Structure 1
Amino acid sequence: MPPVPAAREKRLVGTSLKMYFDLPSTLRYIDAVSQLSSTASNANIDLFVIPDFITALPSAEKLKNTNVWLGAQDTYSEDKGAFTGEVSPLTLSQAGVRIVEIGHAERRRLFGETDADVAKKSAACVRNGMIPLVCIGEKSKSNIASQAVGMAVEECKPQIMAALSEIPDSAEVVLAYEPVWAIGASEPAGADHVVAVTQALRELVAGRQGRTRILYGGSAGPGTFQRLKDGVDGLFLGRFAHDTKNLEKVIEEMREA
């Protein structure tokens, strides 16, 4: 029987704001998310939010008395040095960041990030006491279901193995699976496809000592988790969650699923 998320694993949900919000609207959003802290905790769900770098410090202040994790959208692989324009993982950790998004398809496509870059950044996160949220996903798409799953696993495996090769086996990691072809789509990838792929990916990390949770990201919204719960531990939400009422609905659905 294919592996499913372990009963002991706490569910996880969060969102990245990318560059959609300006400074005032980001801080208003963080205020609204902070109000969902008890809702998520009561549902046994870890909740995270990833604003831009500029608002990290005021966001940390707003979240300090909550259970909401503060995230960052990227980091550099070195803690200090002559790396103009980069953001230090040490500084992020000191600012209160708990989880760092790494290797999103946009970073790979627009800025040429490689699996090796993602691996080094993952190591930097762990070295500074943060959790790497490693984005993975296949570019290829097939209309033949069994072939599509195999292609997805084949493309995702080296992305995962590269990141894990640079961090201790005991380190906590979050894998955010999102087929590249589903990014920005009006509908998420088919549930059967996502569950089959994430169950196969879970087999790859089953022997790790450290907690390894798998999220689905990609046009996720109401009802998505219910359809995917046999494969994933939670959701990495996009613009749908930029309305915190929608985020609250997802948390409630995950609690009941």
Structure 2
Amino acid sequence: MPPLPTKRENRLVGTSLKMYFDLPSTLRYVESVAALSQTASAANVDLFVIPDFVSLLSSKDRLQNTDVWLGAQDTYSEDKGAYTGEVSPLTLSQAGVKVVEIGHAERRRLFGETDEDVAKKAAAIVRNGMIPLICIGEKSKSDIASQAVGLAVSECKPQIEAALSQLPDDAEVILAYEPVWAIGASEPAGADHVVAVTQNLRALCAGRKGRTRILYGGSAGPGTFQRLKEGVDGCFLGRFAHDVGNLEKVIKEMSE
């Protein structure tokens, strides 16, 4: 008898709502995502949604009895203390959060977050039993393909190394590769570029004991994953996922 095929690693897809939605529309959206849980599970796809902080507990209620992961858009690096306005990773864990997005290009640009800041947050997330979703990506862009890949890897490598240096080797990690120049663009980065970069980034993590999955973000939508699947494990969707129908299309593409 021929050997049975091995079950592939679950693919992964999700979206962060940033600050686009108000409270009622956020909860309606989360309910729509919850309705996709069975579709995602049948496709061996892990599905997550990341609302704003105010919506977390109400979102948790709407995701009960589903396999959808609840995410948070950021955290602080300390569990407790005099840090007015910050959000504790301990509290997020107690609120039912499973994955925490950190290091997004907007956080780095608008709030001056450094690789060291992101690394400390990653450690706090893992310490509290959650999964860090670490956004990485290059600012620079070259029109020469061979140079573009090397440039991207050289800018992303220290971002990854800084974060992993603070984590147990067996910690689960998600890396979201988002070229800064592709965020908000009309089209995602070119497939050849993304596949080449993410294959290089995966090699950096090859010796880890913990599960490390790589997503692509940056104007990702329906059709993106099939072009990138040789390099990534899924997609981190932005505005194209505001239409839940697009999110459903991506899940179905990942099942193929």
TM-score, with length taken from structure 2: 0.97
Q: Which runs of 4+ in 1 moved over 3 A?
A: none
1:174 to partner: Cα distance:
0.1
Q: CA deviation at 1:222?
A: 1.4
Q: Answer yes or no: is 1:115 the counterpart of 2:111.
A: no
Higher relative contact order structure (alpha carbons within 8 Å, sequence separation ≥ 6): 1
Q: Which residue of 1 aligns with 2:184?
A: 184
Q: Could you tell me which residue of structure 2 aligns to residue 157 of structure 1?
A: 157
Contact 2:222 2:247 in 1 (8 A): no
Query: Are 1:59 and 2:30 matched, yes or no?
Result: no
Q: What TM-score, normalized to structure 1?
A: 0.97
Hey, what does 1:105 align to over in structure 2?
105
In structure 2, what is the equivalent of residue 28 of structure 1? 28
Q: Which residue of 2 aligns with 1:238?
A: 238
Matches within 5 A, 1:36-47: 36-47=36-47
Distance 2:7 2:21 in 1: 36
Unaligned runs of 5+ in 2: 1-5
SS in 2 for 1:54: helix
Q: Distance between the aligned counterparts of 2:109 and 2:40, measured in 1? A: 33
CA-CA distance at 1:117 after TM superposition: 0.3
Q: Which residue of 2 aligns with 1:144?
A: 144
Aligned residue in 1 for 2:3: none
Structure 1 residues 91-102: aligned runs within 5 Å: 91-102=91-102
Shift of 1:7: 6.4
Cα distance in 2 for residues equivalent to 1:252 and 1:84: 43
Letter in structure 1 aligned against 2:179: P
Matched, 1:217 2:217: yes
State the match for 1:87 in structure 2: 87
Question: 1:214 corresponds to which letter in structure 2?
Answer: I
Q: Over residues 80-122 of structure 1, what are the superposed CA-to-partner deviations in whole Å (9 max), with x where a residue is unaligned?
A: 0000000000000000000000000000000000000000000
Separation in 1, partners of 2:123, 2:115: 12
Work out the number of aligned pairs and report it: 251
Secondary structure of the structure 1 residue equivalent to 2:236: strand
CA contact (8 A) 2:221 2:250 kept: yes
Q: Tell me the CA shift for residue 8 of structure 1.
A: 3.5
In the TM superposition, what is the alpha-carbon distance from 1:10 to its structure 2 partner? 1.0
The answer for the alignment partner of 2:18 in structure 1 is 18
CA distance in 1, matches of 2:241, 2:195: 22
Identity %: 82
RMSD: 0.9
Q: Report the AA paired with residue 186 of structure 2.
A: S
Q: Give the 3-state SS of the residue equivalent to 2:54 in structure 1.
A: coil
CA distance in 1, matches of 2:75, 2:7: 32
Q: Which amino acid aligns with 1:17?
A: L
Paired residue for 2:130?
130
